[in-house]
């Protein structure tokens, strides 16, 4: 199976996007090619990647608060449940790991939720950057705390007026 990939520029650095041709499968902070492993890669034009790049540009310009993309992240059933719950966190909002664990039906699983959050393969679109520590501090982010802070600040500054 061919995987399509592209890199887009953003305020948080280059982003590596992949698709199977029907859904977005990864959005990694580049350079992330090492994380992709072996496979048949194509840089040919892909409708899903074009759409993702457009929506990311709108997000970074403050014109988009929700993504409308077909997603197909690879993960365990628990990870998929956590990643789905992440998509319910409102734009410019935050939630802590304990609250997220409660939301997915397992209030004692905050560590497992944290591990699943850290393995999110579709950053930004699946907003794992909106998960913070119980004390309100910025904690753990695969892209680094500076990127997490930048994303949260961007959303707070560009929050749409109702």
Structure tokens at 70: 């077909």
Dihedral over alpha carbons 55, 29, 140, 80 (to 10 degrees):
60
Q: How far apart are CA 119 and CA 141, in angstroms?
A: 10
- Of the residues 27, 28, 82, 128, which is catalytic? 128
The answer to whether 13 and 29 are in contact (CB under 8 A) is: yes
Tell me whether residue 128 is one of the annotated catalytic residues. Answer: yes
**Rounded to 5 degrees, what are φ and ψ at 48?**
-65, -45
Whether omega for the bond prior to residue 41 falls within 30 degrees of 0, making it cis, is no
Q: How far apart are CA 125 and CA 15, in angstroms?
A: 12
The set of catalytic residues is 128
């Amino acid at each position: 199976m061919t995987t399509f990939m592209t890199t887009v520029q953003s305020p948080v650095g280059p982003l590596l996007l992949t698709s199977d041709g029907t859904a977005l499968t990864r959005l990694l902070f580049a350079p992330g090619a090492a994380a992709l492993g072996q496979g048949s890669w194509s840089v040919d034009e892909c409708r899903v990647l074009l759409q993702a790049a457009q929506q990311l540009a709108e997000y970074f310009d403050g014109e988009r608060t929700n993504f409308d993309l077909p997603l197909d992240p690879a993960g365990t059933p628990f990870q998929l449940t956590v990643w789905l719950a992440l998509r319910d966190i409102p734009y410019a909002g935050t939630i802590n790991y304990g609250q997220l664990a409660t939301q997915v039906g397992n209030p004692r699983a905050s560590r497992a939720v944290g591990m699943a959050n850290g393995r999110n393969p579709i950053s930004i679109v699946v907003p794992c950057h909106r998960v913070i520590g119980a004390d309100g501090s910025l904690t753990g982010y695969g892209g680094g705390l500076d990127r997490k802070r930048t994303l949260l600040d961007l959303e707070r500054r560009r929050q749409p007026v109702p």
